[in-house]
Structure 1
Amino acid sequence: MHKGSKISPLLTLDYIQHEDENKYFDRKSAQFRVKDLAPLISAFANADGGTIVLGISDKKRKLEGVNSVGEDKINNFINAPKDLCKPMPKYREEFIEIENDKGESDRLLLLHIFSSVDQIIRTVDDRTFLRIGDKKKEILGENLRNLEYAKNAIHYEDGINQYAQIEDLDEDLLREYQKRIEAEDVSIEQMLSARGFLVMRDGEKHLTNAAVLLFAKNVRQFYPNCRIRFIRYDGTSAKVGTRMNIIKDHNIEYPILKIIDKSKEYLATQFREFTALNPETGLFETVPEYPEFAWQEGIVNAVTHREYAMMGNYILVTMYDDRLEIESPGKLPNVVTVENIRETRFSRNPTISRVLTEMGWVRELNEGVKRIYADMKGFFLDQPEYSEPNFSVKLTLKNNIEVRKTRQNEHALQNLGEALWHDLDDLERQIVAYMTSHGGASRTDLEKHLGKSNRTVIKRINHLMQLGVIKARGDKHDPKRSYEMIFKENKYQVGIK
């Protein structure tokens, strides 16, 4: 005898009989009218999905079973999502064998209704419901419109802006766009109309949301969420209160056609550089903290594909010592997952995406994502990570700073040999690792790096010189005197600048 659902293991027989109804499950008696299931099915499908358990009385929670109502009604229950809703939501039926309250062998029928990500599920009489807590609620008016935007049943970018006028758009941006699409021989108004940015509603012309988001002089006036917030933390985690470790908090607020350039300019000033010894030239060269394409494409994708209907949300770029996170409002459409994002194309905002493509910003999404993976690999960094926290899409790029530090020690050890490496004290090893990765250092550099006094550092330097591990550059009275490693052989060294 089965003790619960195989499709949703949480739904044990004990759970579905004794737990209170909630956002994810509801129980009904088999005596319940089939047609009355329609609002409940719509509600679950438009929310996060859920299971309807048929065969348990609502109030007394008795195990009545479904056999007593006959196979015809049972089949009607099973077909209810198909017969009573439009379009039909994804669902599965399942039976659980039980002993009913009369001591007879019987069954419960479970209808597992799956969440509809990109379309609204309505009842056949054209009503729309949403599961909120343990209740179903009919959605009307503005709430229904917001749900449609969230489900991508209509595109937010194609909705009209009731307040913006053509005079609120940036003429320079419009002229540049005209030039790109070779439409300089027509007026700006004609171009906006031809491209679907200016539409007729109730006998009046209105700009679309896309037009204002793309071309506004002051986008904040209409869409305060059209911004990128950059936060940089000192360390690898965010702290609060007296330990708060935010060292940068900067907002970048421009229309879409400017925000990508402006964010690239600003972020480029925030990244550190690594130094590397080129084994072919024997010279130290600078290496970016992250591949330029990877973080720039992450920004472009966030701006292009975010959910602009989520009015309280903005793109958040967070920089830690060991990683960069780019978080964009709106989950991936149901055809795209974090697993198949390299191969699957989508566009939440096809109009905005088209314009950015025409302006030379956007590639097909999967092409750009593929190169992010390739460039991270080419820098010997961990592959990028995509996740979907809190109704958003997050790209995480790791710089492997700890791995790089470990590699410094490994390279230094390889250069010195194990026997000599183990004869050094901890400070001397830190000096060797630092100088191996940087190609050299002054006494002041080493004092800052080690956090030690002049006397302590000079003592270690002299010992390392006696061992033939390092050599001086310049006279001992020269204030600019520095030291460098004596390499046994050319090896590729990686470090932090």
Structure 2
Amino acid sequence: MDKIELLKLINKGESSFVEFKADTPDIKAETIGEYVVCFANSKGGKILLGVEDDGTITGLKGRFSEYGKWISDAVQGWAHPNIIVDYEEVPVEEDLRVAVITVPMSVAKPYSKRKGKDAKERYYIRDVTSCRETDREELRRLFQSSGMIHFEVTPVPRSKPEDLNETLLVEYFRRVRDIGYDDKPKWLRLLIDNQILSEELGAVNCTLAGLILFGKKDRVKKLIPQSGISAVEYDSPDADVAGRFRKEINGPLISLRENSGVIAEEGIIDQAVNFVLRVRSKEKIEGTRRVTEYAYPPEVLREAIVNAVAHRDYTIGGTNIGLWLYPDRFEIDSPGNLPNTITIERMKSGARYHRNQTIVDYLRDMNFIEGSGRGVSRKIIRGMIEHNGKEPDFELRGEALRVTLYA
């Protein structure tokens, strides 16, 4: 970084990616470690040492003979696991230098601040222009994004085996596993062994995955209120205009079918697909045949909705998946950032990530998800290009991944 680049950066002020720190005696090694951990747990960033909060450049004060070594020792001593940062000193004027510490967007989250192997670990994240300690839910999301814990197999408090739809479960194990219903004790053990039920809390509870996949509609809505889809139809392409029709879609992911294969009760996936198809399709006569024209191919819609429910971050409470249907486009927002190492470009090119591996496994068993994991590239992108020549958009919007299909 040269002087001009540094001055431009300072002129923009502090942000989610830039922190100013004056080189004063209260800036200790622990302080540096805390801010490095904060940026590493977020999306990376830069610490400018020698700059006041208001952007005034006061420079390094010569407190250390080698600032680079002091920074390196501070990071190694306080950040866990180890983070490699980039350090450089940028001269602004004669005898006026600013240290630039660049923290990469790291892949071994979550990082903690601690001094010594046996010390208490503290976790920090970037919050707009400051660093703060994580709360319990944020820490759980950090651990889940790292793959160190799988939230979908944790027990749901106050749930019980009777909250599951036994007909759905019997159908799944009969059709997919070729296992019939026997006696109740063996059946409970089967569900525990397959992570549909859990004994972790000293009683038998449903796991989050078990309830979301096979739960009774009213119990899923009550015990996991963030598991639904809020679907809204608009008359105008303007997102600020009130929607014409709104539907709250709740219940298990899986539809209940009769022996003939006819759907007796729609699950969330089929409800969401049919919400769009009923509104954005029309029939016409070709010769002697009645043909249905779809604004969005059913298989593309299904893939986009399945991805949203399979990969959303269920640790984020208070928000459903959002399905927005405009005259010119279809948008679906799935809560949760992309997991470590995954970018939108990697996802579009076929890189696989499974935030909720157990849910994905069951959906794959029932042919909702293909084994190759290339549904985004093969079904969504290729499907829309073949349908109308318009490539879908994928973007991160805050704490959600948005997929947009164009009519």
Shift of 1:222: 0.5
Q: 1:318 to 1:5 in 2, by over 3 A?
A: same
Structure-1 residue corresponding to 2:44: 49
Amino acid at match of 1:76: W
Shift of 1:368: 4.6
Structure-2 residue corresponding to 1:182: 178
Instruction: Please say which of residues 365-374 and 172-181 is displaced more in the overlay.
Output: 365-374
Matches within 5 A, 1:33-112: 33-56=28-51, 63-65=58-60, 69-71=64-66, 73-78=67-72, 80-89=74-83, 91-99=85-93, 104-112=94-102
Structure-1 residue corresponding to 2:210: 211
| Helix, strand or coil at the partner of 1:69 | coil
How far, CA to CA, are the matches of 1:89 and 1:117 in structure 2? 10
Identity of aligned residues (%): 26
Shift of 1:23: 7.0
How far, CA to CA, are the matches of 2:327 and 2:306 in structure 1? 23
Q: Is the 8 A contact 1:5 1:94 kept in 2?
A: no
Amino acid at match of 1:225: Q
Structure-1 residue corresponding to 2:294: 288
Q: Is the 8 A contact 2:17 2:46 kept in 1?
A: no
Q: Deviations over 1:276-332 (max 9, x none)?
A: 98xxx9999653222221111111111111111111111222111111112211122
How far, CA to CA, are the matches of 2:291 and 2:139 in structure 1? 57
How far, CA to CA, are the matches of 1:318 and 1:21 in structure 2? 31
Gaps of 5+ in 1: 400-497
Matches within 5 A, 1:123-272: 123-124=113-114, 125=119, 126-139=121-134, 141=136, 144-149=139-144, 153-179=148-174, 180-184=176-180, 187-201=186-200, 203-217=202-216, 218=218, 219-240=220-241, 244=242, 246-257=243-254, 258-272=267-281
How far, CA to CA, are the matches of 2:270 and 2:155 in structure 1? 27
| Helix, strand or coil at the partner of 2:388 | coil
Q: 1:69 to 1:259 in 2, by over 3 A?
A: same
Matches within 5 A, 1:413-428: none
Shift of 1:65: 2.3
- The correspondence for 1:386, drawn from 387, 394, 397, is 394
Aligned pairs, number: 381
Q: 1:273 to 1:355 in 2, by over 3 A?
A: same
How far, CA to CA, are the matches of 1:191 and 1:302 in structure 2? 28
2:325 equivalent to 1:319: yes
Q: Is the 8 A contact 2:396 2:402 kept in 1?
A: yes
- The correspondence for 2:374, drawn from 363, 366, 369, is 366
Amino acid at match of 1:350: Q
2:22 equivalent to 1:24: no
| Helix, strand or coil at the partner of 2:233 | strand
How far, CA to CA, are the matches of 1:10 and 1:215 in structure 2? 55
Q: Is the 8 A contact 2:80 2:112 kept in 1?
A: yes
Structure-1 residue corresponding to 2:257: none
Structure-1 residue corresponding to 2:259: none
Amino acid at match of 1:182: D
How far, CA to CA, are the matches of 2:306 and 2:226 in structure 1? 16
Q: 1:140 to 1:292 in 2, by over 3 A?
A: closer
Structure-2 residue corresponding to 1:11: 9
Q: Is the 8 A contact 1:48 1:115 kept in 2?
A: yes
Q: Is the 8 A contact 2:228 2:249 kept in 1?
A: yes
Q: Is the 8 A contact 2:109 2:340 kept in 1?
A: no
2:343 equivalent to 1:346: no
Q: 1:287 to 1:166 in 2, by over 3 A?
A: same
Q: 1:210 to 1:286 in 2, by over 3 A?
A: closer
Q: Deviations over 1:37-84 (max 9, x none)?
A: 22222223223433222234679956242666212x422313543442
Amino acid at match of 2:95: S
Q: Cα RMSD between the aligned structures?
A: 3.2
Q: Deviations over 1:210-264 (max 9, x none)?
A: 1222221121011112112221111322344xxx4x3221121111222112323
Instruction: Please say which of residues 130-139 and 324-333 is displaced more in the overlay.
Output: 130-139
Structure-1 residue corresponding to 2:260: none
Structure-1 residue corresponding to 2:341: 335
2:373 equivalent to 1:377: no
How far, CA to CA, are the matches of 1:337 and 1:59 in structure 2? 34
| Helix, strand or coil at the partner of 2:199 | strand
Shift of 1:134: 4.6
Amino acid at match of 1:112: T
How far, CA to CA, are the matches of 1:283 and 1:209 in structure 2? 46
Gaps of 5+ in 2: 255-266
TM-score between the two structures when normalised by the length of structure 1: 0.68
How far, CA to CA, are the matches of 2:107 and 2:8 in structure 1? 23
Q: Deviations over 1:379-431 (max 9, x none)?
A: 233111111112211111111xxxxxxxxxxxxxxxxxxxxxxxxxxxxxxxx
Q: Is the 8 A contact 2:50 2:58 kept in 1?
A: yes
How far, CA to CA, are the matches of 2:84 and 2:320 in structure 1? 32
Amino acid at match of 1:264: V
Q: Is the 8 A contact 1:78 1:111 kept in 2?
A: no
| Helix, strand or coil at the partner of 1:11 | helix
Shift of 1:143: 5.3
Q: Is the 8 A contact 2:227 2:250 kept in 1?
A: yes
Instruction: Please say which of residues 365-374 and 159-168 is displaced more in the overlay.
Output: 365-374
Shift of 1:141: 4.7
Structure label with greater radius of gyration: 1
Q: Is the 8 A contact 1:30 1:54 kept in 2?
A: no
How far, CA to CA, are the matches of 1:118 and 1:50 in structure 2? 16
